[in-house]
Amino acid sequence: MGGLLAAAATVGVLPRLAFADAVPPGGGVWPNVFISPAGKPFRAKADAPYPVVVWFREADANGDGKLDKAEFLADCDRFFTGLDPNKTNVLGPLQIAIYEQRIAPEVLGGRVDLRGSAGGRPLLWLAQVDRPGPIDPGGPDTDAPTRYPHSLDESGQGAAPYSFFDEPEPLMAADLNFRGVVSRADFLKLAEAHFATLDDRDQGYLTLDGLPKTPVQKALEKGRRGRRKG
């Protein structure tokens, strides 16, 4: 796999996106992580606001505090475009491997330090994606159950603790036909389902206050309340 990624860098197909580093300066793990509905990771320091705020402001193109469906889909489409430098409208095994290993390694077993959420003691949340053996850039097994989500996360695997949805691997969740590739059309079809799930009151837009909290966000907030009481 390392050779595959090295070859990708050589031929210039690595996506040139302004992502935060997957590892914070000085090493360790980011204590504060959000993975957007499109699968884009946002990371912050322990005492910073949960980075869902950064995603929402980025996606809310007109800055009116309401993320409508067009803005939501445009945000997802921009992320797909960044992962598709050759403009094929399909993410294949190489692009998916780059995403998993370089952009959002949380999906393969990222850890969040929930310091303070257990009586002031460090607590590491290991979110390991459910895959047997070595990482396979070809995608999940063809007989795996669909992950087309219509409910909030309960799995605790991969990206799910950092996300609104039960999607251990956000890109492969859009592989609706289990082909091992993700088309732009299917990616946006999943984005529409995401929006409908989050817009549970059928308002036609989302607000920051109306969004659900991810499992990691809840744990971080609980830890901060515990520190204040102490």
Alpha-carbon distances, residue 78 vs 22, 53, 111, 173 (angstroms): 20, 18, 27, 18
pLDDT at 154: 40
* Residue that has been written with the tokens 């509905």 in this structure: 37
**How many whole angstroms separate alpha carbon 104 and alpha carbon 226?**
29
pLDDT at 112: 47
pLDDT at 221: 85
Q: What is the DSSP letter of 118?
A: B
This prediction's pTM: 0.74
pLDDT at 127: 41
Structure token pair of residue 38: 């499109």
pLDDT at 199: 98
pLDDT at 229: 57
Residues of the chain with pLDDT under 70: 1-21, 23-24, 26-29, 110-156, 224-230
Q: How would you label 68-104 residue by residue, b for 16+ Cβ within 10 Å and e otherwise?
A: beebbbebbeebbebbbbeeeebbbebbbbbbbbebb
pLDDT at 72: 98
Cβ contacts of residue 54 below 8 Å, gap of 6+?
A: 34, 42, 44
User: How far is C-alpha 146 from the geometric centre of its chain's CA atoms?
Assistant: 18
pLDDT at 76: 98
**How many whole angstroms separate alpha carbon 220 and alpha carbon 201?**
27
